[in-house]
Amino acid sequence: MPSGAPTRAKILDDRYEEALASIGLPSARDVAAQVRTYLQHQDAELSRKNNALSLVKQTVSQEITSITLGPAIDKEPTDRHFYLESESRLSFCIEIRETQGRCSLVAYRFHLSLPDGMSPSFYRFDLNPKPHESPLTEPRAHYHVAMEHIRLPSPVLTPVEVLDRIFQVIEPQVLQIRFS
Instruction: Print pLDDT tens along the chain (180 aa).
Output: 458 999 999 999 999 989 998 998 999 999 999 999 999 999 999 988 999 999 999 999 989 999 999 998 898 999 999 999 999 999 999 999 998 888 999 999 999 999 999 999 999 999 999 989 988 889 999 999 999 889 999 999 999 999 999 999 999 999 999 888
Rounded Cα distance between 75 and 41, Å, is 27
Tell me the residue range of the domain where 174 lies: 5-178
Say how many domains are in the chain.
Answer: 1
Rounded Cα distance between 108 and 68, Å, is 10
- pTM confidence score: 0.93
